[in-house]
Structure 1
Amino acid sequence: MSSAKGVQVTPDCVNAFQELKLAKKIKYIIYKISNDGKSIIVETKSKVTTYDEFLKHLPKSDCRWAVYDFDYKTSGGDRNKIVFYTWLPEAAATKSRMLYTSSKNALRKSLTGVGIEIQGTDYAEVSYSTVLKSVARG
């Protein structure tokens, strides 16, 4: 699989994404770098549909990536976009923030079909209303 700086994307990461994108079996996925720092793994995947529940899985002081099947309404009807998140909270260690930043492309390139990317350093940057503005534009 893809790698950056030696961090490998595990097949489970892509399989989970296919469950979300094609099978619509899950609503979101949280990805993290394994404890040994060698691979990107699935930390959480869930069928839970509320956006607030999803946000609770983004840790206050550690980095993550996430994919969320974002539903919204327009004058033309109901829509959805797959959103890729890079979560880099200010409280996270600098080394962790750097590792997640430098490894993002390895994961991102293996997830075909993402509609929009969001980077957040605090919960306001990933709030439903903030993401909705980006999704509606893009």
Structure 2
Amino acid sequence: MKLTRHNAIAANAASGMAVHDDCKLRFLELKAKRTHRFIIYKIEEKQKQVVVEKVGEPTQNYDDFTASLPADECRYAVYDFDFVTAENCQKSRIFFIAWSPDTARIRSKMIYASSKDRFKRELDGIQVELQATDPTEMDLDVIKSRAY
């Protein structure tokens, strides 16, 4: 079956959230071309769709990424983490982070939680998933420990 815009929107009917084409396009650029370090996604409640809010340059680091997440609003994010193994091999892991801070609105947390799995399936190539309600749950040590 050929995937058309109509099918993609219909497929998301279960969660009620459509996924903007740009979400997948930017993710493919990060995964295949490595043109982005991270992507932050936001649910536009009025349009009932997930959109790209911010894209990080390849030169940006993890601190730039975490600084881009709002302190009191939920977001989905993808981060391309580069590291060197004990055997001195250069590796990379693509993290999916569901950011749901304790200070976010209850309604927002519920919408993000109920749409997460459906959205994540649209991004083929996620290697590690993290759920975070405060910055300590996704600090660099946590990322490093989950990457290996």
TM-score by length of 2: 0.88
User: Alignment partner for residue 52 of structure 1, among 49, 52, 63?
Assistant: 63
- Map Cα deviations across residues 52-94 of structure 1 (whole Å, 9 max, x no partner): 0000011110000000101112112221100000000000011
Alignment pair present for 1:107 and 2:119: yes
Q: Tell me by how many angstroms 1:49 deviates.
A: 2.4
Tell me the residue number matched to 1:96: 108
SS of corresponding position for 1:130 = helix
Unaligned runs of 5+ in 2: 1-7
Tell me the residue number matched to 1:25: 35
Structure with larger RCO (C-alpha < 8 A, sep 6+): 1
Tell me the residue number matched to 2:96: 84
* Contact kept in structure 2, 1:89 and 1:120, CA below 8 Å: yes
Structure with higher strand content: 1
SS of corresponding position for 1:114 = coil
Q: Find the aligned partners of 2:45 and 2:34 in 1 and give their Cα distance.
A: 29
Name the larger-Rg structure: 2
Corresponding residue pairs, total? 136
Q: Find the aligned partners of 2:34 and 2:15 in 1 and give their Cα distance.
A: 32
TM-score by length of 1: 0.94
Letter in 1 for 2:63: D
Q: Find the aligned partners of 2:95 and 2:144 in 1 and give their Cα distance.
A: 10
Tell me the residue number matched to 2:76: 65
Q: What is the root-mean-square deviation in Å for CA atoms of aligned residues?
A: 1.1
Q: Find the aligned partners of 1:81 and 1:41 in 2 and give their Cα distance.
A: 23
Q: Tell me by how many angstroms 1:35 deviates.
A: 4.3
Runs of 4+ in 1 over 6 A off after TM superposition: none
SS of corresponding position for 1:12 = helix
Q: Tell me by how many angstroms 1:112 deviates.
A: 0.5
Q: Find the aligned partners of 2:63 and 2:19 in 1 and give their Cα distance.
A: 27
Tell me the residue number matched to 2:5: none
Structure with higher helix content: 2
